[in-house]
Amino acid sequence: MTRDARRTARRAARRTGRRTAQRIAPLLVLAASIAWIASIAFVSAAGATPKPRASLTDIENDVMCTACHEPLAVADSPEAESERNYIRGLIAQGLTKSQIEKNLVAQYGTAVLGRPPAHGFNLAIYILPPAILVAGIALLAFTIPRWRRRTREAAAETQEARPPPLEAADAERLDTELSHFRG
């Protein structure tokens, strides 16, 4: 390879690297913004201020029946009815939604919650999906440009491997010789 060809190849590689960086940057910004939004949603869900007054329908949607393992809003069993009565009693005492949920957990265990608490091993449920999404986007951001570059390089190599086109005299001679074989 001549010096000029190497220099041209290095320039092309630098340009490709810059183009790759220009393509990756928006994807990384998108991944970071998704992670940021997910963390804000997680923090706001974990540290949301409780409502001053709770209602049975509001709590029923977030609580499970411990006997039939269905949301309390759709459960129709004697255990579900006793849970509803317990919740009505807590509402009558003037407790907030978070206080009622804490009482339900004390009474029935964490299985009564529709959403697992965001601490300990259960924290993985809240962290893994956004992390996997960001990792997938980063993986695509790095592999797609490489695939495209390899495809372009393969196409360029096939262009270089082609023989030069025949001159008019050579093409005529080839046609003449082939005509003798065709008969």
6 in any annotated domain? no
User: 58 and 137 share a domain?
Assistant: no
CB 99 within 8 A of CB 152: no
81 in any annotated domain? yes
For residue range 144-161, what is the model confidence (pLDDT) as tens digits? 999 999 998 888 887 777
88 in any annotated domain? yes
User: 107 and 124 share a domain?
Assistant: no
User: 73 and 99 share a domain?
Assistant: yes
84 in any annotated domain? yes
User: How high does pLDDT run on average in the chain?
Assistant: 81
User: 109 and 75 share a domain?
Assistant: yes
Which residue range(s) make up the domain with 99?
A: 50-115
Domain CATH number, residue 64: 1.10.8.640
User: 56 and 146 share a domain?
Assistant: no
Beta partners for residue 113, in sequence order: 63
167 in any annotated domain? no
For residue range 50-81, what is the model confidence (pLDDT) as tens digits? 446 778 888 888 888 888 888 888 888 889 89
pLDDT given for residue 44 in this prediction = 57
CB 101 within 8 A of CB 83: no
Q: What's the domain count of the chain?
A: 2
User: 129 and 146 share a domain?
Assistant: yes
| The residue to which tokens 């956004």 are assigned | 130
100 in any annotated domain? yes
pLDDT given for residue 50 in this prediction = 47
